[in-house]
């Protein structure tokens, strides 16, 4: 669709800019204070899990099969929690470790393990000189920070409609032994909302890495987070790895951060027999055994995958209207202008917005000026550098529907004004 501002006469465009500036001035006078910055569940959503707080009391037997809950032991996680995590990820519980309350923390632990000790007998990264990590972008800013913080070189990889550009991934992974890992969010990706196609999953599973210590960090954070309509189907990566004749290639992560309570959920990692035994050894240096009261509470409360799905339907009833509002507000406000595109995911926590080249920083700054906080422009790219300065991550779950509607109205005006100004500047 042609950009309506580019097609306008200069006179009409100047008129339009004047009109939009008046609208912006009105919005500024409203002294709004709204936040669409981070993917956090709303208070309504976290309230759904409050009954979990009642499943443990002083009369609860603090055992789980043979495992003792109120003392050291079972560092791999309680059997019932590993069963639950195994069902969520679709893997055998023997290949799962449940530990702590943050999957990002487990990812950091494993990159640190590779850095300090080395993976599968290889030299630790710190002795290997420059090592690289592939970062499909736009992607999750906190992933990129983990590898950046250890001095690993983050390499952006283009994202396509059905996952990362696998030609580029294959070429780099199979041709360059300094490439040691890749960040992936395979279902309802942060921020694009897409789910990797079967072809993409099979291409990952068939990789023949040049580096024996290369691993895919398969962060399945949103595996059970559909909005209640179509649930995207993601091929089982471990099955695909086996079919491709590969073995030790993938660490898969998940957590209940956005099922129960962010920062007070349970987190888990799954891997092949060899890899999970190495993970357990690496973790045993850092902790005697991890927190188990929360594991027990989660297992008693959620029980199994059916229990998780029933609970997620309650989340869906709260988040789906918010995502529908994003689509309707953006569609009504910007749909006919041809200045922007945005994703329309079936699940997850984000909508990815693409404005004109050179617009993202300006839109985010204008929004801040108008009292609406957005994720910083560029955050979805390694080192915060979006080459087109065009991507903005919209996180609609936290605000109330009313606040979200207001924030989106402001966003539409900000996008229009910045896009109109860019079209005007292009004319000199």
- Contact positions with ligand PMP (CB under 6 A) in 75-114: 102-105
- Rounded-to-integer distance, Cα 229 and Cα 323, Å: 12
> In the complex with ligand PMP, which residue's Cβ is closer, 366 or 394?
394
CA angle, 316 then 318 then 323, to 5°: 80
Contacting residues for 143 by C-beta, under 8 A, at least 6 apart: 104, 107, 135, 183, 185, 217, 219
Residue from 16, 141, 213, 219 touching ligand PMP (CB under 6 A): that is 219
# residues contacting ligand PMP (CB under 6 A): 14
Q: Taking the complex as a whole, how short is the minimal distance between the CB of residue 269 and ligand PMP, in angstroms?
A: 11
Task: Work out whether 185 is an interface residue with ligand PMP (CB under 6 A).
Answer: yes
Task: Work out whether 295 is an interface residue with ligand PMP (CB under 6 A).
Answer: no
Q: Taking the complex as a whole, how short is the minimal distance between the CB of residue 300 and ligand PMP, in angstroms?
A: 20
- Rounded-to-integer distance, Cα 409 and Cα 218, Å: 36
Q: Taking the complex as a whole, how short is the minimal distance between the CB of residue 73 and ligand PMP, in angstroms?
A: 24
Tell me the CB-side half-sphere exposure of residue 237, using CA atoms within 13 A: 29
Q: What's 226's DSSP letter?
A: B
Residue from 137, 221, 302, 339 touching ligand PMP (CB under 6 A): that is 221
Contacting residues for 151 by C-beta, under 8 A, at least 6 apart: none
Task: Work out whether 190 is an interface residue with ligand PMP (CB under 6 A).
Answer: yes
Q: Where are the alpha helices (DSSP H) in 117-151?
A: 141-149
Task: Work out whether 261 is an interface residue with ligand PMP (CB under 6 A).
Answer: no
**Binding span for ligand PMP by CB under 6 A among 118-126, 238-246, 255-263, 353-361:** 255-263
At 9, list the tokens.
Answer: 């006469």
**Nearest alpha carbon to residue 57 among 293, 260, 308:** 293
Q: Where are the alpha helices (DSSP H) in 48-90?
A: 79-89
Task: Give the position of tokens 């700054």.
Answer: 365
Q: Strand 215-219 and strand 250-255: pairing? A: parallel
Site string for ligand PMP, 139-168 (x = CB under 6 A): -x----------------------------
Residue from 69, 89, 267, 418 touching ligand PMP (CB under 6 A): that is 267
**Cβ atoms of 256 and 265 closer than 8 Å:** yes
Q: Taking the complex as a whole, how short is the minimal distance between the CB of residue 99 and ligand PMP, in angstroms?
A: 11
Q: Taking the complex as a whole, how short is the minimal distance between the CB of residue 80 and ligand PMP, in angstroms?
A: 19
- Contact positions with ligand PMP (CB under 6 A) in 20-59: 39
- Contact positions with ligand PMP (CB under 6 A) in 359-418: none
Binding site for ligand PMP (CB under 6 A): 39, 102-105, 140, 185, 190, 219, 221, 255, 257, 262, 267
């Amino acid at each position: 669709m042609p950009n309506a501002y580019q097609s306008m006469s200069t006179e009409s465009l100047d008129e339009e800019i004047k009109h939009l500036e008046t609208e912006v001035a009105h919005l500024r006078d409203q002294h709004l204070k709204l936040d669409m910055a981070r993917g956090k569940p709303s208070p309504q959503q976290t309230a759904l899990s409050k009954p979990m707080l009642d499943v443990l009391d002083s009369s609860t037997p603090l055992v789980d099969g043979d495992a003792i809950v109120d003392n050291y032991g079972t560092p791999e996680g309680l059997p019932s929690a590993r069963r639950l995590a195994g069902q969520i990820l679709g893997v055998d519980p023997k290949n799962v470790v449940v530990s702590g309350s943050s999957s990002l923390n487990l990812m950091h632990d494993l990159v640190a393990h590779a850095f300090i000790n080395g993976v599968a007998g290889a030299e630790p990264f710190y002795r290997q000189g420059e090592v690289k990590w592939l970062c499909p972008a736009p992607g999750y800013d906190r992933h990129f920070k983990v590898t950046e913080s250890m001095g690993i070189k983050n390499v952006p990889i283009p994202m396509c409609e059905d996952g990362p550009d696998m030609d580029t991934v294959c070429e780099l992974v199979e041709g360059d032994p300094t490439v040691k890992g890749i960040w992936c969010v395979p279902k309802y990706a942060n921020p694009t909302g897409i789910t990797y196609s079967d072809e993409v999953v099979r291409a990952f599973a068939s990789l023949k890495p040049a580096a024996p210590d290369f691993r895919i960090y398969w962060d399945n954070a949103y595996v059970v987070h559909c909005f209640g309509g179509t649930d995207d189907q993601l091929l089982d990566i471990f099955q695909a790895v086996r079919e491709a004749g590969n073995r030790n290639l993938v660490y898969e992560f998940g957590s209940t951060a956005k099922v129960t309570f962010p920062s007070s959920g349970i987190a888990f990692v799954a891997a092949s027999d060899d890899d999970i035994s190495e993970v357990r050894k690496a973790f045993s240096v850092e902790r005697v055994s991890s927190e188990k009261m929360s594991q027990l509470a989660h297992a008693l409360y959620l029980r199994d995958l059916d229990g998780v799905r029933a609970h997620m339907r309650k989340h869906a009833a709260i988040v789906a209207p918010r995502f529908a509002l994003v689509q309707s507000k953006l569609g009504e406000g910007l749909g006919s202008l041809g200045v922007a595109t945005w994703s329309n995911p079936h699940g997850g926590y984000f909508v990815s917005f693409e404005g004109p080249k050179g617009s993202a920083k300006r839109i985010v700054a204008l929004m801040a000026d108008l009292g609406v906080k957005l994720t910083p422009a560029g955050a979805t790219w390694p080192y915060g550098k979006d080459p087109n300065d065009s991507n903005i991550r919209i996180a609609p779950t936290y605000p109330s529907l009313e606040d979200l509607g207001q924030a989106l109205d402001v966003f539409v005006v900000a996008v229009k004004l910045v896009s109109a100004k860019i079209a005007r500047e292009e004319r000199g």
